[in-house]
Amino acid sequence: MPNWPPTDGAGGSASDGPAISLRGVRKSYPLGNRNIEALRGIDLAVERGGFTAIMGPSGSGKTTLLHLLGGLDRPDAGEVVVCGRALAGLSERELTLFRRREVGVVFQQFNLLPALSALDNVCLGGLLDGRDGPALRARGMELLAELGLSDRATHRPDALSGGEQQRVAIARALLFEPPLLLADEPTGNLDSATGELLWRTLREVASRRGMTVVVVTHEPASAVECGRVIVLRDGLVAGTLNSDGMERGDLALRAAVLARA
């Protein structure tokens, strides 16, 4: 297809090296006259390709971490490097383009715009990027087809099931073929059968593209599908587990122990 994906610096990666590297990352939120320390000094690296799970109890800082990785927020201190880009060095404009083109984000609540059709939700980032036209719409339809939603293109979110909405959200995240996909409890609002299907879909679209995927998940059963599990506790990395050669149950158990110890 002509003109898509765009080649003017969108997508792609700035350099070799890990997909993600964090050093000394801290983030707190003011709350009344207190300061909630959500992240208290995070060091980690994620290699390119494959799935990494982030686990940890509620309030341990998982969503905050994902927001920093996606450029949705900035840390108070420390260094966040994603696909070779030091995010602190980006201007607001550059950070906007980074968010739009270089990472795809999938949220627990889907976060689709209710007034827009599935196709328009998928294409919105392209419109904001000044790419209206047949190539953009054809691209959106191609993604909807890949996700099994060709016959849902004109439907608004409230006419779609939860699983369908989340697949639209995945299509939206893939619009610019970003090298990195971030997902925050993507199956948290789905029943378990739909959730399993969604995981399979995520795996398929990501492996087809060789994407790096970082998924926050509560469910040990999902985490064991990932090659690596990073466990957060109280805003710190409590430990990292590699699934190589480990029994599934064993990995889930160790992750649970790390999260609670």
The site for ligand ADP (CB under 6 A) is made up of 29, 31, 36, 38, 56, 58-64
Q: How far apart are the C-alpha atoms of 225 and 46, rounded to whole Å?
A: 16
Q: How far apart are the first and last CA of the chain?
A: 52
Of the pair 87, 168, the CB lying nearest ligand ADP is at 87
Q: How far is the CB of 106 from ligand ADP (least distance, A)?
A: 15
What backbone phi and psi angles, to 5 degrees, belong to 223? -60, -35
Q: How far is the CB of 86 from Mg ion (least distance, A)?
A: 25
Q: How far is the CB of 232 from ligand ADP (least distance, A)?
A: 7
Select from 165, 56, 161 the least CA-distant residue to 107.
165
Task: Find the part of the chain contacting Mg ion (CB under 5 A) among 56-64, 135-143, 169-177, 230-238.
Answer: 56-64
Q: Which does 149 bind (CB under 5 to 8 A by kind): Mg ion, ligand ADP, none?
A: none
Q: How far apart are the C-alpha atoms of 94 and 86, rounded to whole Å?
A: 11
State which amino acid sits at residue 73: D
Window 10-49: contact mask with Mg ion (x via CB under 5 A): ----------------------------------------
Query: Considering only residues 230-259, where is the footprint of Mg ion by CB under 5 A?
Result: none
Q: Which does 29 bind (CB under 5 to 8 A by kind): ligand ADP, Mg ion, none?
A: ligand ADP
CA torsion sign, 216 to 219 to 220 to 224? negative
Of the pair 49, 188, the CB lying nearest Mg ion is at 188
The DSSP bridge pattern shows strands 77-82 and 50-55 to be unpaired
Of the pair 118, 215, the CB lying nearest ligand ADP is at 215
63 belongs to the binding site for Mg ion (CB under 5 A): yes
Q: How many CB atoms lie within 10 A of CB 7?
A: 9
Helices (H), ranges, 104-234: 118-128, 134-146, 162-173, 192-209, 220-223
Of the pair 38, 229, the CB lying nearest ligand ADP is at 38
- DSSP reduced 3-state for 22: strand
Positions in the binding site for Mg ion (CB under 5 A)? 62-63
